[in-house]
Structure 1
Amino acid sequence: MRIGEVKSQARAALSGKWGLAVGTAFLIGLISSVIPGLVEVFVSGGFSNYFAQEEPTLTATIANLVTTVLLIPLGIGLYWFFLRLVREENPTLGSVFEVYADLKTSIKLIVTSIVVGFFVLLWSLLLIIPGIIKGIAYSQAFYILKDKPEYGTLQAITESRKLMDGYKWKYFLLQLSFIGWILLSILTLGIGLLWVIPYMNASYATFYQNLVTINNTTIEE
């Protein structure tokens, strides 16, 4: 699997669907970044009270944290959106929110995100490099849960490690290949990220799809 081929396949998947991809990624990013703050302001008693206080109240901070946690499935729903896009399943903006249709799935995604973060943190306490390696090793867990919803958190993480065996360096190089685009986006005051982020997400989904193909795994919805 070559990085150039992965990115070429991602661009092909995005062809004719850039508007949908950009709009969806922007909306989900906006919701994920703005809603927790608005909840914190509301719990604080409004904007006037919020800006008047020297630091947020404990209740407001907890409300922000809870909202952030509840929005975790939405971010993963965006991953699944791009996986569907790569598979030519014609996803819609609404399909991102389908992740909340099943409470059990939503809870599992939240738990998996927390567990992955905890594991990566533990490895990072040893050294930064092991933390990065483990983060890459666990990176496919959420895609696996899309294809195998019957899997538990630890099973998805374990399968991700197996799937990434021998491909962690490739994935790291794929991530690294977007550094130039990100730096260029900064020069455009972040506007370029509207296209770079969908491109990245499509490439990561394509990487997973190629891993599945290489491992002769049958994808069943």
Structure 2
Amino acid sequence: MKNYRTRSELKTEIKNLLRGNWKKGILLYLIPLIVFWFNSGYNNSKVEWHFDPTNFDAMHFTRIASSFGIISFILSLVFLIINLSASFRGLDWIEDPELDFDPLKSNFTYFRSPDWWQLIFIYVIISIFTFLWTLLLIIPGIVKSIAYSQTYFVYKDLNDRGLTDGYSLTTYINKSQQLMVGNKWRYFVLQLSFIGWWILGFITLGIGFIWIYPYYKLTMANFYRDLVEKNTEYLN
């Protein structure tokens, strides 16, 4: 049995990383947090546009595209790239705590990448797959969304290592599913462990999210790092 880090260990490592570096952590996730604030407070009589702090899902995808039109759809993709850019830099930071980077500029890293469109297509593919599974029953859709949850980090890792020759976009999704075999419940419980923090964030009228959001996002990235450390064979 693989000796994965416990929830407490994953969180403690991030607390240690942020200790003395809260300004960097807050600035790194500031723009995604502003998007989260904006979308969470937006309410339309015809449709609810709610930003999921974990990622977008198929229902959000279809609501935005159909109800707000092409402009809002494009904005949702821009927000996706911003969110992923911050998440990827967060993973780099976890792997190298002494990493020197501009936290605000890191939100726009993948806008300068020639491969930004691949992230968009991966998002579309995941949204379609999740939607189709949800048509069967809600629970299979949830299970599959958890299985796909590491796809973007897998994409980043393999691209950073130059191991993507001949890979299709679905390869990253498949590798995420392989990594999550036997780990879906761990991920689900880790997500649940933040419910108290989310409640606290709303009680403080969103102010608490300034600290909670970086803590949450970095913990999720640390979960991925733990996965790949114990399953290196899937990233070859």
- The two structures have a TM-score, normalised by structure 1, of 0.81
- Matched residue, 1:48: none
Measure how far apart 1:31 and its partner are.
5.5
- Unaligned 5+ segments in structure 1 are 36-57
Q: How does 1:35-114 map to 2 (within 5 A)?
A: 61-88=69-96, 89-93=99-103, 94-103=105-114, 105-114=115-124
Q: Which residue of 2 aligns with 1:166?
A: 182
Matched, 1:216 2:226: no
Mind listing any 5+ residue stretches in structure 2 that lack a counterpart? 40-65
Give the SS at the match of 1:21: helix
1:132 is matched with 142
**Is 1:181 equivalent to 2:181 in the alignment?**
no
User: What displacement does 1:219 show?
Assistant: 8.0
Residue equivalent to 1:29: 33
Which ranges of 4 or more aligned residues in structure 1 deviate by more than 3 Å? 31-35, 216-220
Q: Which entry has the higher C-alpha Rg, 1 or 2?
A: 1
Name the CA distance, whole Å, in 1 between partners of 2:185 and 2:36.
30
Counterpart of 1:123 (choices 119, 133, 136) is 133
Relative to its length, the structure with more helix (as a share) is 1
CA contact (8 A) 2:31 2:107 kept: no
C-alpha displacement at 1:115, in angstroms? 1.0
Percent sequence identity is 32
- Could you tell me which amino acid in structure 2 is paired with residue 152 of structure 1? S
Aligned mates of 2:203, 2:230 — CA distance in 1: 38
What letter is aligned with 1:191?
I
What is the aligned partner in structure 2 of residue 46 from structure 1? Answer: none
Cα deviation, residue 67, structure 1? 2.6
Contact kept, 8 Å, 1:108 with 1:152, in 2: the verdict is no
Once residues 159 and 75 of structure 1 are traced to their aligned partners in structure 2, the CA distance between those partners, rounded to angstroms, is 21
Count of residues paired in the alignment: 196
Task: Determine if contact 1:14/1:21 at 8 Å carries over to the other structure.
Answer: yes
